[in-house]
Amino acid sequence: MPFAGLILAAGMSRRMKTETPKVLHKVCGLPIIDHVISNLQKAGCERIATVVGHMGELVSEHIDNRSEIFWQHERLGTAHAVMQAKGLLDTYGRTVLVIPGDVPAVRPETISRMVAEHEAGGAAATVLTMELDDPAAYGRIVRDAFGDFTAIVEFKDASEDIRQIREVSTGIIAFDPAKLKDALQYIGNKNAQGEYYLTDALMILYEAGHGIQAVLLEDCDEGIGINSRQDLAVAEAVLKGRKLDEVMSSGVTVISPETTFMDFDVVVGQDTVIHPYTILTGRTVVGRRCELGPHTTLLSAVVDDDSDVCHSYARECHIGPQCKVGPYAYIRPGTELRQGAKAGSFVEIKNSVIGEGSKVPHLSYIGDTDVGSGVNIGCGTVVCNYDGFKKYRTTIEDDAFVGSNTNLVAPVKVGKGSYIATGSTITADVPEGALAVARARQENKEGWAERKRRLAKADKDN
């Protein structure tokens, strides 16, 4: 059922104590307003408008072309915010759904159900409500003796009796736009906050004899409005729980949902197992049959099928199929591990390609390097890619063997199938098939230790 969505996002977000617009704070890795926009889109919304004001440039810039923008230059309340969207109300004939920009968890199905019920009931307005054990500062739904809706009373204006009411407004209200426009003219600001409340439109319409409906949420988690950092944490838990539920339903094992964190856009393939204390954020995409964690963080990383990443941190990189990463690896942006490659313990790799089947098993730094296939990088190898001014690239060709504790001073090329002796500091290219030894030759001084001990003892006895 087509409808228009009107997002209110001009408020000051005082209770958040923030220098960032409230709707740009993230929940499950996405700004709150992105959840709102995407929920509207998924619900079949054909036109989206947003009212911005406080730090509105940042908000409208972020929204970009996903919504029309209306400006509310003074924050005089939610009804005043809606009035600024005259351009929408004057030109749109079907249902207009007003939604606060700080309610990110409502399900698209709920929005479409509500719009359908609104239209089927022929109501002037339909409000989405919820029953809470602790109704906090939400607007209370007041009903008459027959149980019919009569008004929404804001917490600050509510008497003790009304504060006892557990049914509250989610702030999501579907309107017939012509009737909404009529009602807006009569809204005053004589209330505890001196604001023009949108909620008063319902009372005005009710008193004018129009039908008002209330649709009750089955799952109250959907109605959470984010006013404070505490609310932000609650919303995070709700949306994260839903995301994990979704991936488990699609065939992913999450051993410990309490300690697993996953952003909204993350994709995980079937039969992957996620061990405890694992965090997957941003645009991370994980293939099938992988083992992730324990204690692993992937930030916008791509991991292909059948790879294992444990006790590691990987960011903006591509871990190919059948790779082994960790424990304790740090894979940095621009890195690609090709099929069957290994980045083992205490290994840091930056902006490098590790070719098919190549191994960096222990204690190494590889930066700005192109490693071919079948290469073995010995323990403790360091690519010296930076001379204090510039970074240089290193090339290690197929099947080369880099001995332990080698320094590769970039730019340098290690030829195909060549060997580097342990402990070498390589400053010049190594030809294909050669052995490079770049360390001082060992000298043994026979009997030296015994002489030293004797001298030391004599010294002490004197």
Interface residues with ligand UD1 (CB under 6 A) are 8-11, 51, 53, 72, 75-78, 80-81, 100-103, 138-139, 152, 154, 168-171, 197-199, 225, 227
Q: At what angle do helices 56-63 and 32-42 cross, to 10 degrees?
A: 40
Collect all residues with Cβ–Cβ distance below 8 Å to 2 and sequence separation of at least 6. Answer: 44, 45, 46, 94
Q: Shortest distance, CB of residue 84 to ligand UD1, whole angstroms? A: 8
8 binds, among Ca ion, ligand UD1, none (CB under 5 to 8 A by kind): ligand UD1
CA angle (282 as vertex; 45, 268 as ends), nearest 5: 90
Start-to-end CA distance of the chain, whole Å, equals 103
197 binds, among Ca ion, ligand UD1, none (CB under 5 to 8 A by kind): ligand UD1
Question: Could you count the other beta carbons within 10 Å of the beta carbon of residue 74?
Answer: 9
139 binds, among ligand UD1, Ca ion, none (CB under 5 to 8 A by kind): ligand UD1
Q: 10 or 266: whose CB is closer to ligand UD1?
A: 10
Q: Shortest distance, CB of residue 153 to ligand UD1, whole angstroms? A: 9
Q: 225 or 372: whose CB is closer to Ca ion?
A: 225
The SS3 of residue 408 is strand
Reading the block at residue 142, the tokens are: 């007041």
138 binds, among ligand UD1, Ca ion, none (CB under 5 to 8 A by kind): ligand UD1
What is the contact mask toward Ca ion in residues 62 to 101, using x (rule: CB under 5 A)?
A: ----------------------------------------
76 binds, among ligand UD1, Ca ion, none (CB under 5 to 8 A by kind): ligand UD1
Query: 10 and 81 in contact (C-beta within 8 Å)?
Result: yes
Q: Shortest distance, CB of residue 217 to ligand UD1, whole angstroms? A: 12
- What is the distance, to the nearest Å, from the Cα of residue 230 to the centroid of all Cα atoms in its chain? 18
Reading the block at residue 336, the tokens are: 């690609």
For residues 220-249, which are near Ca ion according to CB under 5 A?
Answer: 225, 227
Token match 């970009």: residue?
A: 64
d(CA 436, CA 418) in angstroms, rounded, equals 8
169 binds, among Ca ion, ligand UD1, none (CB under 5 to 8 A by kind): ligand UD1
Choose the binding region for Ca ion from 102-110, 232-240, 242-250, 278-286 (rule: CB under 5 A). Answer: 102-110
Q: Shortest distance, CB of residue 101 to ligand UD1, whole angstroms? A: 4
β-bridge mates for residue 412, sequence order: 394
d(CA 70, CA 56) in angstroms, rounded, equals 10
Q: 139 or 269: whose CB is closer to ligand UD1?
A: 139
Q: Of 49, 44, 38, which Cα lies nearest the Cα of 3?
A: 44
Residue nearest to Ca ion (CB): 225
User: Does 195 contact Ca ion by CB under 5 A?
Assistant: no
Query: 48 and 67 in contact (C-beta within 8 Å)?
Result: yes
Q: Shortest distance, CB of residue 173 to ligand UD1, whole angstroms? A: 9
Q: At what angle do helices 108-121 and 32-42 cross, to 10 degrees?
A: 50
Query: 103 and 171 in contact (C-beta within 8 Å)?
Result: yes
β-bridge mates for residue 348, sequence order: 330, 365
Q: Shortest distance, CB of residue 156 to Ca ion, whole angstroms? A: 13
d(CA 351, CA 329) in angstroms, rounded, equals 14
Q: Of 382, 422, 440, 32, which Cα lies nearest the Cα of 225?
A: 32
Q: 77 or 225: whose CB is closer to Ca ion?
A: 225
365 binds, among Ca ion, ligand UD1, none (CB under 5 to 8 A by kind): none
Q: Shortest distance, CB of residue 231 to Ca ion, whole angstroms? A: 8
User: Does 102 contact Ca ion by CB under 5 A?
Assistant: yes
d(CA 262, CA 300) in angstroms, rounded, equals 11
Q: Of 107, 268, 253, which Cα lies nearest the Cα of 172?
A: 107
Q: 8 or 309: whose CB is closer to ligand UD1?
A: 8
Q: 81 or 366: whose CB is closer to ligand UD1?
A: 81
Name the DSSP letter for residue 242. H
Q: Shortest distance, CB of residue 32 to ligand UD1, whole angstroms? A: 9
Q: 161 or 446: whose CB is closer to ligand UD1?
A: 161
Q: 154 or 308: whose CB is closer to Ca ion?
A: 154
Element holding 206 (H helix, E strand):
helix 199-207
Catalytic residue set: 362
**Chain residues that interact with Ca ion, rule: CB under 5 A:** 102, 225, 227
